[in-house]
Amino acid sequence: MLLSITTTHRPASDLGYLLHKHPDKFQSFDLSFGRVHAYYPEAGDDRCTACLLLDVDAVGLVRGRSPDQDFLLAQYVNDRPYVASSFLSVAVAQVFGSALQGKCKDRPELAAAPIPLEARLDVLPVRGGEAFLRAVFEPLGYAVEATRHPLDEHFPEWGESPYFSVAVRHTVTLSELLTHLYVLVPVFDARKHYYVGDDELEKLLAKGAGWLTRHPAKDEIARRYLGNRPSLVRQALGRLVDEEEAGEDESPEKQQAEERLEKPTRLNDQRLGAVVAALRGSGARRVLDLGCGEGKLLRELLKDRQFEEILGLDVSVRSLEIASRRLKMERLPDAQAKRLKLLHGSLTYRDKRLEGFDAAAVVEVIEHLDPPRLRAFERVLFECARPGTVVLTTPNREFNVTWEALPAGQFRHADHRFEWTRREFQDWAAGVAARHGYAVRFLPVGPEHPEHGPPTQMGVFDLAQSR
């Protein structure tokens, strides 16, 4: 198992400072799973390469453990010693720990500077093949070179193996490169060798800060990194979305843009009024506010005694905290407090806590979901939670042209993944209704433009059997 890191930054031997390892030395370290060697095969002014060679003790690793489902010999005959895997991440963290954190006492400016770097991995098992390899590294700006190895060079007819030699190149800080490798190398491996505990989640979130939230393959990365433990994956995805939102907070202008845009029409009030009216009209007593955000609808619902039980759910802990503060939940009189509950969760994962309600509101939420996640959302709400009525709103994209403040082709909010025309929304909603036994009707919200329609569109779904 070999990781080589090369730079052509001049003088290239500065790499020694960054890694805190002297280019003239060959150093070895004992880790729990074997030995690791750090050395430099080349260290000139123009080019410098540092290597991290893992010598995994496959026998020592299983000593003292009871043999599990694997056949006994597999513990001794396996590819662990040869392929890069999560061991490599552990070794990077231990041997290049300061570099991973971007610390360099002698040359702090160098640690902060993006420099041309190449990392080579010999040999990496890649579940998902070259396409997945590219889908993981390319969005981060890396050029990827991958060579797949045959199962046996002497017997080409045996076909290809899952093993690749991989090189990734980019101009980044060394800390960024090491962080990406730390998180991503284990993602390619088919089997995680150790128990995936809760601290793995913390590691992923800490190391993924600032780049994983925006990565288009973040769901798959989190799933694989966390060894497919659904509860951890769910938490991770929830918190990755949170971070994204926290990031948005940094630019309040961006956040307020949608409100400014919509202000003259007081669209928000009209929308809330329309949603409350539809919920009231359905006769619902127990209601959900899914993607409740900072709790504007919850406040309206609390005012109406018809709603005996109100549950707000959001993926963003920060929004829930704001909602709780704004609704003064800590100081609500008992009778009120009993009616209202806030839950942290994601609408793209089945959640038993959402079952058994009469109605659900989903106000300006679906456009925040990635289109490939809409199917999951649909099943979570209409198949699993299955309230009698669903009141759902989303922007009508056609109306955007009437807003001079909104540049053509732009969405109303930076976090919107899409905005639909009336046609697109109605087609989607009719499909959902048909698939799950609901009837749907559509209502305009806000002042209707004769040609472009209303600013907000609303669909009210009723469960056919319950009528």
Length of the chain: 467
CA pair distance 350, 247, nearest whole angstrom: 27
Strands (E), 99-159: 115-125, 143-150
**Distance linking the first and last C-alpha atoms of the chain:** 64
Whichever of 120 and 296 has its CB closer to ligand SAH, that residue is 296
Site string for ligand SAH, 345-364 (x = CB under 6 A): -xxx--------------xx
CB contact at 8 A, 72 and 39: no
Q: Which of 252, 233, 274, 279 is nearest to 394 (CA)?
A: 274
Residues 6+ apart with CB under 8 A from 317: 239, 242, 344
- Binding test (CB under 6 A) with ligand SAH, winner from 291, 453, 455, 459: 291
Query: What type of residue sits at position 287?
Result: V
Whichever of 142 and 349 has its CB closer to ligand SAH, that residue is 349
The answer to whether residue 262 forms part of the interface with ligand SAH (CB under 6 A) is no
Q: Label the pairing between strands 438-445 and 160-172.
A: unpaired
The answer to whether residue 120 forms part of the interface with ligand SAH (CB under 6 A) is no
The answer to whether residue 293 forms part of the interface with ligand SAH (CB under 6 A) is yes
- What's the token pair of residue 49? 């390469």
How many residues at the interface with ligand SAH, by CB under 6 A?
Answer: 16
Q: Which of 449, 363, 437 is nearest to 398 (CA)?
A: 449
CA pair distance 79, 122, nearest whole angstrom: 12
CA pair distance 437, 218, nearest whole angstrom: 33
**Which of the ranges 50-58, 74-82, 180-188, 292-300 carries the binding residues for ligand SAH, by CB under 6 A?**
292-300
Whichever of 9 and 271 has its CB closer to ligand SAH, that residue is 271
Q: Which of 128, 139, 289 is nearest to 212 (CA)?
A: 139
**Which of the ranges 26-34, 189-197, 299-307, 340-348 carries the binding residues for ligand SAH, by CB under 6 A?**
340-348
Measured N-to-C along each axis, helices 218-225 and 198-208 cross at an angle, to the nearest 10 degrees, of: 140
Q: Which of 82, 84, 15 is nearest to 50 (CA)?
A: 15
Closest separation in Å from C-beta 133 to ligand SAH:
28
The answer to whether residue 90 forms part of the interface with ligand SAH (CB under 6 A) is no
- Binding test (CB under 6 A) with ligand SAH, winner from 14, 118, 189, 314: 314
- Per DSSP, the three-state class of 128 is coil
Closest separation in Å from C-beta 374 to ligand SAH:
10
Whichever of 15 and 267 has its CB closer to ligand SAH, that residue is 267
Whichever of 163 and 382 has its CB closer to ligand SAH, that residue is 382
Q: Which residue is nearest to ligand SAH (CB)?
A: 293
Within its chain, how far is the Cα of 243 from the centroid?
9
CA pair distance 237, 393, nearest whole angstrom: 24
- Binding test (CB under 6 A) with ligand SAH, winner from 61, 84, 292, 301: 292
Closest separation in Å from C-beta 205 to ligand SAH:
17
- Binding test (CB under 6 A) with ligand SAH, winner from 13, 173, 319, 400: 319
Closest separation in Å from C-beta 334 to ligand SAH:
27
The answer to whether residue 213 forms part of the interface with ligand SAH (CB under 6 A) is no
Closest separation in Å from C-beta 316 to ligand SAH:
4
The answer to whether residue 189 forms part of the interface with ligand SAH (CB under 6 A) is no
**Which of the ranges 56-64, 301-309, 365-373, 446-454 carries the binding residues for ligand SAH, by CB under 6 A?**
365-373
Q: What residues form DSSP beta bridges with 125? A: 163
- Binding test (CB under 6 A) with ligand SAH, winner from 167, 261, 315, 359: 315
Closest separation in Å from C-beta 301 to ligand SAH:
12
Residues 6+ apart with CB under 8 A from 308: 285, 286, 339
**Binding residues vs ligand SAH (CB under 6 A):** 291-293, 296, 314-316, 319, 346-348, 363-365, 368-369
